[in-house]
Amino acid sequence: MELRKDPITQSWVILGQREARGDAPEECPLEPAKIEKLRPILTWPAEGAWQVRVLPHPDPLYHIEGEPGRVAEGMYDKMVALGAHEVVVETPQHDRRMSQFSDEEIERVLWVWASRIADLKKDARFKYVSVFKNQGAMAGEEWPHAHSQVTATIFVPRRIKYELSSAHEWFKDKERCIFCDTVRQEEKQGKRIVDVQGEYYALCPYASRVPYEVWLMHRRHNHLFEQARPGSNRRQLAALLGRVLRRLEKVAPAYHLVVHTSPNTKNKKGELAGYWKTLPDIVEKTSKSYSIKEVYFNAEMPEQAAANLRALDPNS
């Protein structure tokens, strides 16, 4: 596996073959009987019956050993595919989807995500920690058993870099946070809001890239998903996420969920140096399309998508 940078789009691309997997295993590899034999990275709750367990990915895209340096190849840059790749088993039960979890169960998964982000950010080699969930065959899920994935990379994914540099420009211009401004604007207009829980909002973004794109944002600024604001309430985020997922499942057979948080600021050299200085801030957002396409065609207007989602009963 190696990472190559496209000098034109600035994207890092992983190239190489994953280990041959042969035929799909007949039995689910995430069953408790199987994974209890493996050494977990994290188990939650730590005592008694566990709900969430984190394991190394059996066929990782990134490997933890190696040096992060870049190597020039003529005009190009490449790096070894250094990083971490973990699987979060969200429940011991094979046929329960996250949308069917109680608020408390979703909160446990959120807590595990936060805890893995915080832990991986202690490694200064890692510039960004991604948490994502592909649910459904059409979204490219690896196994049907409810799970999500965590990757720590030695580069900041391009989409995140774009968000940071736009936020930076906005701040230079207005001395305000672009994400907080977005929430204010949506709050005022209301027509793209899907649902609200406490100070958390679920909304279809103004320029939705795909049908039923939904962002979950807090009203008050926080750039660290892994570090809940004092007085904030992750149970509310869990409740809102559960309802949004139940609505989405009524209109879509599959979805991507992505957590957005700030990059690792341990190592301020290199890529981050330019846009981090005046930007201590990027807000948490979950449940976003995880697409690598750059030009989007979306036939579903976000105002209509929000209205459709609002009209669906998440509790039936």
Stretch that binds Zn ion, among 163-171, 189-197, 239-247, 283-291 (CB under 5 A): 283-291
Whose Cβ is closer to Zn ion: residue 183's or residue 210's? 183
Phi-psi region of 99 (alpha: psi -120 to 50; beta: other; left: phi over 0): alpha
| Alpha-carbon span 121 to 265, nearest angstrom | 8
Stretch that binds Zn ion, among 119-127, 179-187, 242-250, 251-259 (CB under 5 A): 179-187
Touching Zn ion, residues 217-236 (CB under 5 A): 221
Q: Across the beta sheet with 128-135, what order do the strands follow?
A: 42-44, 52-56, 83-89, 147-153, 128-135, 255-259
Strand duo 12-15 + 2-5: pairing: antiparallel
Contacts of 308 (CB under 8 A, 6+ apart): 212, 251
Touching Zn ion, residues 14-53 (CB under 5 A): 28, 30-31
Q: Is 87 in the site for Zn ion (CB under 5 A)?
A: no
Closest CA to 164 of 72, 240, 262, 74: 262
For residues 201 and 187, the answer to whether their CB atoms sit within 8 Å is yes
Stretch that binds Zn ion, among 196-204, 209-217, 226-234, 275-283 (CB under 5 A): 275-283
Burial readout 1-26 (b: 16 or more C-beta within 10 A, e: otherwise):
eebbbeeeeebbeeeeeeeeeeeeee
Whose Cβ is closer to Zn ion: residue 126's or residue 179's? 179
| Alpha-carbon span 278 to 193, nearest angstrom | 30
Stretch that binds Zn ion, among 93-101, 156-164, 190-198, 232-240 (CB under 5 A): 93-101
Q: Which of 42, 64, 180, 196 binds Zn ion (CB under 5 A)?
A: 180
Whose Cβ is closer to Zn ion: residue 172's or residue 292's? 172
Closest CA to 54 of 63, 46, 62: 46
Whose Cβ is closer to Zn ion: residue 33's or residue 75's? 33
Whose Cβ is closer to Zn ion: residue 64's or residue 180's? 180
Q: Is 177 in the site for Zn ion (CB under 5 A)?
A: yes
Touching Zn ion, residues 135-154 (CB under 5 A): 145
Q: For Zn ion, how many residues bind (rule: CB under 5 A)?
A: 10
Q: Name the minimum Å distance from CB 297 to Zn ion.
A: 30
| Alpha-carbon span 96 to 110, nearest angstrom | 17
Whose Cβ is closer to Zn ion: residue 180's or residue 196's? 180
Whose Cβ is closer to Zn ion: residue 26's or residue 65's? 26
**Residue numbers of the site for Zn ion (CB under 5 A)?**
28, 30-31, 94, 145, 177, 179-180, 221, 283
